[in-house]
Amino acid sequence: MPGFPVLLGAALGLVLLVPPPHPGADDARLEALLASVRGGSLDVRLLGLSEQLRGIPYAHSPLGEGEGQDPDPRLRLDRVDCLTFVETVMALALSSSVEDVVHVLDSIRYRGRPDYAGRNHLMEAEWLPSNASKGMVRDVTAQLGGDGVVQDGKVIGAEAWASRTARALALPSEERRTGRFPLSVLPVDQVAARAARWPSGTLLLVVREDAPWRITRVSHLGFVVQRSGHTYLRHATRGWKDGVVDEELSHLLARHARYAWRIQGVSLWEIRDPRPAADAVSSTTR
């Protein structure tokens, strides 16, 4: 059958062109990452894993559902943005096995099953309350920020959903959250006096001034890292540099202060292990 080798070659070519389901996150790499921090406390796991992901290039919204409205992969280690970097590090730190990672990541990114409409798109209205209810994060802004902390929030109404940013989400009307969503904020002028005391591994959100036509106030996030007497934010960035870097927090806030959308302050959150203590300990000692 003279055409068979040609057809077979074409078929093999198509197979080779199909991208892997989890780019840059094959089982061997995932196992090496998990093994490198196995037995460590949660903060040690967060810092050790995030350190190993430094240098990964930046890409806007690199994760999706693997199909449908956003067919980007559900897990990848070859590209991150500021949110998916945090989510991926959390998922790795809270996983006991390679098989766990994508499922833990789904639990962080979605309120239920992994579909686009059920994704935690909005930080104040979805991501924070969803992950707080699951025991994965806890607001520690007042604890770490002291008396200057403001109990603030974000109001989302029809004007916010009419904005270009909100319309780009293309969410069905029944999935458009409305109402007032609380958020504790430490004013930006008080950060320098307090930042040195914040534990490494703390999740820091950059909070900007509110406006009724904005769908969120949180523009950026990353992990606090204390090193050699300096406070850094480990985060995924573009423009200043490209990819996951450690940037002195004072430098980052000064750089962001030049943007038209003014910074109001920061919100601070503790990453938590939602598993019962016995399960969490046993999983790290295998």
**Is a pLDDT exceeding 70 seen at residue 80?**
yes
pLDDT at residue number 6: 53
Q: What is the pLDDT of residues 21-35, one digit of tens each?
A: 899 999 999 999 999
From the centroid of its chain, how far is CA 245?
Answer: 15
pLDDT at residue number 89: 98
**Is a pLDDT exceeding 60 seen at residue 113?**
yes
pTM as predicted = 0.90
Domains of the chain: 23-284 (2.30.260.10)
Q: What is the pLDDT of residues 243-282, one digit of tens each?
A: 999 999 999 999 999 999 999 999 999 999 998 764 554 4
pLDDT at residue number 8: 53
**Is a pLDDT exceeding 60 seen at residue 1?**
no
What is the band of 7 on the pLDDT scale with cuts at 50, 70, 90?
A: low
**Is a pLDDT exceeding 90 seen at residue 44?**
yes
